[in-house]
Structure 1
């Protein structure tokens, strides 16, 4: 009797996950669909690999050995072992070429057995049993074969007849995880968008799948540096998070907190972050991030800059945040400058330097950079040692925008009229 949970629409008792998966459960709501999600690729392991590749704090030879042992002993994936060795330009000496070749042959033999079960199901069983067999092939490939082989296996699963929209969404989300595990952001996004289209247009998006898809999409937006859209998606999921296959709950709260810190109004920082019960439940696990938010809300700019220094290693060590770490640090810095200057029409460089606990040269350099980039509405009187704020007139700005858009519309109408006359 097939026992794979992807095979039927009604919830079944999920197969027990590996013991180390239990460590990933840090919060969020229980979810039958999430519990039955494929255990591989292990996205927490992807974070460990990222920390190894960027040589973040705490990564040493012992850490490297642990990572490679997991690839051999748990994943039994010789191709990924070779890929990581090439990426890091190291030879761990943990597994000989002969042993890796033996593992290749073992995996090929297992794939042959699984394919035989598909043919057997086609001949003597029904569509559901064929799908069960294809699911097992896809999940084995995601664990022990290459990215291309895994994605091809999921493609064959999606091409089967009579697969419900819900199960297609599950397969697309698992395909997205495979692509994301190997750093193929474009492919991962493509799968997630296909799943989202099915959820909205195909009628296969139940409440749980829709919520999990928001997490997939939100994390994808972070990688694409669409922080505002990612922040909105993740804010909606804080109370209903059930996507531990993508990240732990504390990690999700870090993403939701940092992204929303850049975009929500200051009163909402208090309501949604500092006093949010879900965030408070994991605050002790993410002290650097909470310290950063509280310092900004309390206008303690010296503590805020110190917290920025402390939170930077967290950004570097995370595969979703590290690609844009310079952007994150710049935006956090600009936020502090804007919030401070909003309270003044003019302020001396020395007073601002004292508030931030830095030198006047530091303030002068960074403020001038932000002003030149159009990120601060101010000007610096270097001779007088003063920063003068220059808040734009909102009504005049709206009027200018309306005139510009009106001119653009008239130009388009004129061009269209010439085409019609012809």
Structure 2
């Protein structure tokens, strides 16, 4: 078992704070983000990363200095001096190990050097050093840990190609005999990757499966992990599973007092309080989706899909509804509901039609015979493909 604590290297809170600081729409969070960002840079001696982000940012304009991270030359000098001294010490230690010690000591020194380059945010040198450490690592557990560290480098720099490549390597190594702890940590890594590329269903399955076994604090806090599970689950689970896996889950209920908007979202959706659900969804967008480096690219998509889910849930219960009653249920104007429902119907996202003369929305359920026919054709194609594959083997 992997009993040692996995250090947050690189620290993923650092790019999250930089994202907040760089987003003008999150001005109310800038002061806190800047303070925590500088604390993280100093704590991990992130000279290379600090130089790269300050050179990439344009000089702050008058009145907008809180939106930028200006270069503090004295801070950079002190960080780079600390980096130079530590790397010199590690290089000397590696040279001595190669002369007088065994493979285990050399491997440990290579890993220490790679981890330091990872911690300070020197992407290219860190990747090169981690690959060398991986080649020299003896045990399967050590190799898995190094591969997962490279995945975190990919997360840190938002490099999807690195994440995809090394996630596959981690899965292969764990299938060879990874322990329980590393298997569970990989679930969290995979869930974060899936939600970052808008695969909410696959992310929800992994988040919810790992709720009771979560240990991956090196990539995400427990509260944020639960929030991601609720966000993805609310969109992809049916009513029965939403109640069973989210609303009544003890891990979720443990976090709800600190993030009450999550409880408002799922409970009002489940209990069909759609006006309150809309308020909770708007609050979630502003307080959690947009401020999240991972979720902000998907915020508009998520809000739209959740609205469609709520509209469909209500329309499924009735053959017809007046536009006025539909608007009242969601706490919006008739004009708003008319425009939005019309757009979703036109895009085939809702099975309904609007009678504007009488102000009625009529539910149109898809033909069950057509659905059965499509199922038979689809399953028949699969069966024929399997038969053809079998015939090639036999003959």
Q: Scaled by the length of structure 2, what TM-score is found?
A: 0.89
Q: How does 1:360-375 map to 2 (within 5 A)?
A: 360-375=334-349
- The equivalent residue for 1:23 is none
- The equivalent residue for 1:26 is none
Alignment partner for residue 28 of structure 2, among 43, 51, 58?
58
Deviations along 1:108-162, whole A, 9 cap, x unmatched? Answer: 34323212222221221111111110111011101224111111111110111x5
The yes-or-no answer on 1:49 pairing with 2:4 is no
Distance (Å, rounded) in 1 between the aligned partners of 2:54 and 2:37: 9
Distance (Å, rounded) in 2 between the aligned partners of 1:93 and 1:360: 49
Distance (Å, rounded) in 1 between the aligned partners of 2:79 and 2:188: 35
Alignment partner for residue 158 of structure 1, among 125, 128, 134?
134
- CA apart distance, 1:42: 1.4
**CA shift in 2, pair 1:411/1:218, >3 Å:** closer
- The equivalent residue for 2:143 is 168
The yes-or-no answer on 1:309 pairing with 2:285 is no
Corresponding residue SS for 1:380? strand
Distance (Å, rounded) in 2 between the aligned partners of 1:315 and 1:332: 13
Alignment partner for residue 323 of structure 2, among 337, 346, 349?
349
The answer on whether the counterparts of 1:273 and 1:279 sit within 8 Å (CA) in structure 2 is: yes
**CA shift in 2, pair 1:368/1:399, >3 Å:** same
Distance (Å, rounded) in 2 between the aligned partners of 1:123 and 1:39: 32
- The equivalent residue for 1:38 is 7
Distance (Å, rounded) in 2 between the aligned partners of 1:266 and 1:206: 34
* More off after superposition, 210-219 vs 70-79: 70-79
Deviations along 1:156-181, whole A, 9 cap, x unmatched? Answer: 10111x52221111111111111211
Deviations along 1:224-259, whole A, 9 cap, x unmatched? Answer: 111111111111001111111111111111111111
Q: How does 1:198-213 map to 2 (within 5 A)?
A: 198-200=173-175, 202-203=176-177, 205-213=178-186
The yes-or-no answer on 1:385 pairing with 2:359 is yes
The root-mean-square deviation of aligned C-alpha atoms, in Å, is 2.5
Deviations along 1:320-378, whole A, 9 cap, x unmatched? Answer: 21121111111111111011101111111111011111111111111111112221111
The answer on whether the counterparts of 1:38 and 1:174 sit within 8 Å (CA) in structure 2 is: no
Distance (Å, rounded) in 2 between the aligned partners of 1:348 and 1:248: 45
Distance (Å, rounded) in 1 between the aligned partners of 2:297 and 2:291: 10
The yes-or-no answer on 1:398 pairing with 2:368 is no
Alignment partner for residue 265 of structure 2, among 267, 289, 292?
292
Distance (Å, rounded) in 2 between the aligned partners of 1:376 and 1:322: 26
Alignment partner for residue 118 of structure 1, among 87, 90, 94?
94
Alignment partner for residue 117 of structure 2, among 126, 138, 141?
141
Unaligned runs of 5+ in 2: 61-68, 389-395
The answer on whether the counterparts of 2:14 and 2:41 sit within 8 Å (CA) in structure 1 is: no
Alignment partner for residue 218 of structure 2, among 236, 242, 245?
245
- The equivalent residue for 1:85 is 54
Q: Scaled by the length of structure 1, what TM-score is found?
A: 0.83
Distance (Å, rounded) in 1 between the aligned partners of 2:263 and 2:236: 16
The answer on whether the counterparts of 1:69 and 1:94 sit within 8 Å (CA) in structure 2 is: no
Distance (Å, rounded) in 2 between the aligned partners of 1:196 and 1:325: 29
**CA shift in 2, pair 1:145/1:400, >3 Å:** closer
The answer on whether the counterparts of 1:349 and 1:386 sit within 8 Å (CA) in structure 2 is: yes
Distance (Å, rounded) in 1 between the aligned partners of 2:382 and 2:43: 60
The yes-or-no answer on 1:330 pairing with 2:335 is no
The answer on whether the counterparts of 1:49 and 1:67 sit within 8 Å (CA) in structure 2 is: no
- CA apart distance, 1:315: 0.3
- The equivalent residue for 1:19 is none
Unaligned runs of 5+ in 1: 1-9, 12-31, 415-422
Deviations along 1:171-211, whole A, 9 cap, x unmatched? Answer: 111111112111212212321221011111x22x1111000
Distance (Å, rounded) in 2 between the aligned partners of 1:312 and 1:103: 37
- CA apart distance, 1:264: 1.5
Flag as ranges the 4+ runs of structure 1 deviating above 4 A.
Answer: 91-94, 404-414
The answer on whether the counterparts of 1:52 and 1:64 sit within 8 Å (CA) in structure 2 is: yes
